[in-house]
A and B are shown apart, each in its own frame.
Chain A
Amino acid sequence: MNCLDYRRALLAGTGEADAMRVHRLQCAGCTAEWQEHAAFEGALRQALEVPVPEGFAERMTTVPVARRRRFLAAAATTLVAVGAGSYAWLARQDPLALACIDFVMKEEAKSIMMGAMPRAEARVALAGTLPVEVLEGVGQVRHISPCPFNGATAYHVVLAVPQGKVTLLVMPSAPMRGVRHADKEGMHAAVVATKNGSVGIVGADAAVVMSVAGAFQAYAATRSA
């Protein structure tokens, strides 16, 4: 290790490995750099540790209890309506549904950062597959943007429904039949057919995903009737 490697490693904050320590003990310049860096790191850590509201941790463990109870009651109602057998699909891992979950975990942030498309353009783009009016009938549309997905262009939608938020991937070029499902790292996905395509629904809550998928299936059934 030389001085340049040592100082690069310090700046990346990866900690002082054995090889670094050996170099520092033999180099007065890097020893001085290390001492200055230690003071810098202390100040940086202190600056990052912004004051936390008093009793915050306790509030986070106790206040949401009422919301949890409301959720359990709502989820129980949904389960009765959908049928207990519906949860059998959670064990199935469809590749397209898994790709939808991977998108949420790896690509969604970038897609949101790049900004939403104008709503008028979105209305035109989705009209043939899953109209914005249908989305607005299910929840509040927070974001729509085109994105590369599964080798084609899809539309990334963030939809807020009364029970929480879900991510949609509207896929005009992926017609399908039936329902596909996946479950990965606490996220659930269902892919259902729409007019001239399909839509993937991803969320942390299986009951909410199922509920939204049901609404889109109802729309697709109406269109084909």
Chain B
Amino acid sequence: MGFEDLVRTHARDLYRYAYWLARDRQQAEDVVQEALLRGWRAFPRLRERAAAKSWLFSIVRREYLRALGSAAPQTESLDTMDLPDERQELFGVEMRDALMALPASYAEPLALQLLGGFSCAEIATMIGTTEGATMTRLTRARQALKRLVAPRERAGGRT
């Protein structure tokens, strides 16, 4: 698979991953664009083409952290969020609000697991921690989300 095919396949999930790192649409787009430019330059030297997907996600992560060196991460306000108005998506919207409240260190492994489809071991390598610590973060992230989402349901949010 050439670089452009790789980008076409993964661009949407790379954007979503960048969004959950930055919590800002414009910054997510900038980060992905800069990361893909770096990726394009380095692609000819990538030896393990089978690992190209995790390589791309890692470049997006590095690019985001480089950007952090000059500016604090911005929190997107509710005014600029695209909130679906379909009633059946109400649960998802509440979940997205809950995700926004989750610290990035917990939201990031969730995004890598569910958007990227990476295993705990792969995520651990990508974020520079152990497999056990990654599983702990994933568990705590889900526990926190369940706590955040459940009270609204009990209050009649899904009637």
Q: Which residues of A contact B (CB under 8 A)?
A: 8, 11-14, 40-41, 43-53, 56-58, 60-61, 63-64, 67-68, 71, 104-110, 112-113, 116, 140, 142-143, 158, 160, 164-165, 167, 183, 185-187, 204-205
Contacts and interface: CB of A to CB of B under 8 A. Distances in A.
B128 to A, nearest CB: 5
Contact of B135 (A12, A48, A183): A12
Given A12-B139, A107-B128, A109-B61, A48 B114 contact: yes
Interface in B70-105: 70, 82, 89, 91-93, 95-96, 98-99
Contacts of A11: 138-139, 142-143
Query: Which of B55, B110, B119 has the most chain A CB atoms closer than 10 A to its own CB?
Result: B110
B42 to A, nearest CB: 4
A109 B110 CA distance: 18
B95 A110 contact: no
Contacts of B98: 47
Interface in B12-47: 12, 15-16, 19-20, 25, 29, 32-33, 36-43, 45-47
Given A64-B36, A68-B40, A50 B55 contact: no
B95 A52 contact: no
B16 A60 contact: no
Contacts of B25: 53
A140 B113 CA distance: 35
A142 B20 CA distance: 22
